[in-house]
Amino acid sequence: MNKFIKSIIPILLVILLVQPAFGFGGMGTSNSNESSIQPEDLENVTESDQDIALLQHLIEVDMVKLESENEIFVRETLIYRNEGTENYLGSLMSWIPDGAEGVIVARVEMMVDGSLNTLQTTLNGNIVSWNDFMKSNDPLPPLYIIEYSVPAEQTGTITKSQVFNKIFNYPALTKQPGMIILKVIKREADSIYVTDENGNSISASGNPMYEDDNSVLYRWERPGFKEFNVELSQPVVTTAKATSYAIPGIIILLVISYPFLRKKSEKLRNIEHRITENLKSEAEPEEYEPEELVENSPIEIDSGLSGKSKYELETEKHEIQSKISTLENDYASGDLLDEEYEELRNKYRKKADAINSMLNQE
């Protein structure tokens, strides 16, 4: 059996390369006609499918062909073989996903010309079936091709994902396939994840082969799974877009969190203070001499100080110095805004200068 399957593979691949898709607009129709194969030996025919084996099942999932129509194009190729002693005349079946549209089944003779005959089908839920005749132990059994499309539904926000689900449903429909081949034709940015019915990854066990046309080929011999899910995902936000979104967000975050950071970080407050002092010094004219201006400017005597004794003035002076010290500590701790700090400091210094002036006059 293994030798037979291996000999079939090259023939199958050659036919797939030369046989065009037949289910959509623009296809060639000269070698396609809807018909049913007539049995050659009516006396040696059975309707029992117990000897019908599925040697090989190829599923092609094309994400590019119908991308503009937001659909996934699927083409399945099945090789059945009648291993019984009688010819078979009866129904063959396969499972197709929900939402499948434009379902077409055709029989391709495994010969050089690869003549193609479209078959009449019956669709019952997810099961597509067709009747055909198969010779007993035919060395060149026919290929059956099923074509359809399914909606390419996208999920996710950071990445957009599309999932194709395939159920093999054996032994209900057929015996366990000898080999399953999956070909995924993807977009350049797509990542592929293949899992079984239990959510376990089966990508590595399929020995993926990456082709030049952005396609990936998987192959499983005597597979243990009865279903696979092909998930293709691509990032919605590129690196450039992410950067353009991140920079304004970082700026907004810094603006909102700055008061809290300033209060907690003495180093940050010191840096801010140095920057403020530098800006003030740059804004002042070079000829400006604060000491001379202070000496030459008349000092206004606070009305609350007049009439006080020298002792009372000295006491008042010490209280103001204590207030200035407390003010500096509060500002360094971030408890005061710059405007409040400047206003109180000027007020205290003005009063201290008035006291000093009165003490110097005595």
The residue from 268, 288, 308 where one domain ends is 288
Q: How confident is the prediction for the chain on average, in pLDDT?
A: 77
| 29 CB-near residues (< 8 Å, 6+ apart) | 22
- Do residues 21 and 78 share a domain? yes
Whether residues 273 and 333 fall in one domain: no
216-260: pLDDT as tens digits: 999 999 998 999 999 988 775 555 555 665 677 677 776 676 666
The average pLDDT across 58-83 equals 93
Q: Are residues 253 and 330 in the same domain?
A: no
Last residue of a domain, one of 251, 271, 288: 288
What tens digit of pLDDT does each residue of 261-271 get?
Answer: 666 566 666 77
Number of structural domains in the chain:
3
Crossing angle for the helix pair 338-361 and 310-332, to the nearest 10 degrees? 160
- The highest-confidence range among 7-21, 23-37, 149-163, 176-190, by mean pLDDT, is 176-190
Quick check: 227 and 220 in contact, CB under 8 A?
A: no
Do residues 8 and 152 share a domain? yes
Range in 84-93, 268-277, 307-316 the model is least confident about:
268-277
Q: What is the pTM of this model?
A: 0.58
Check whether residue 78 and residue 158 sit in a common domain: yes
In our burial notation (b when 16+ CB lie closer than 10 A, e otherwise), range 139-151 reads eebbbbbbbbbbe
On whether both 16 and 94 belong to a single domain, the answer is yes
What CATH number is given to the structural domain containing 168? Answer: 2.60.40.1730
Choosing from 250, 267, 288, the residue where a domain stops is: 288
Give the N- to C-terminal CA distance of the chain in Å, as an integer.
124
- Same structural domain, 194 and 342: no
258 CB neighbour count, 10 Å cutoff: 12
Are 184 and 284 members of one domain?
no
Domain that holds residue 14: 2-235
pLDDT of 300 higher than 70: no
- Same domain? 335 vs 219: no
Task: Specify whether 305 is located in the same domain as 164.
Answer: no
Q: Are 229 and 242 in the same domain?
A: no
Please check whether residues 213 and 352 belong to one and the same domain.
Answer: no
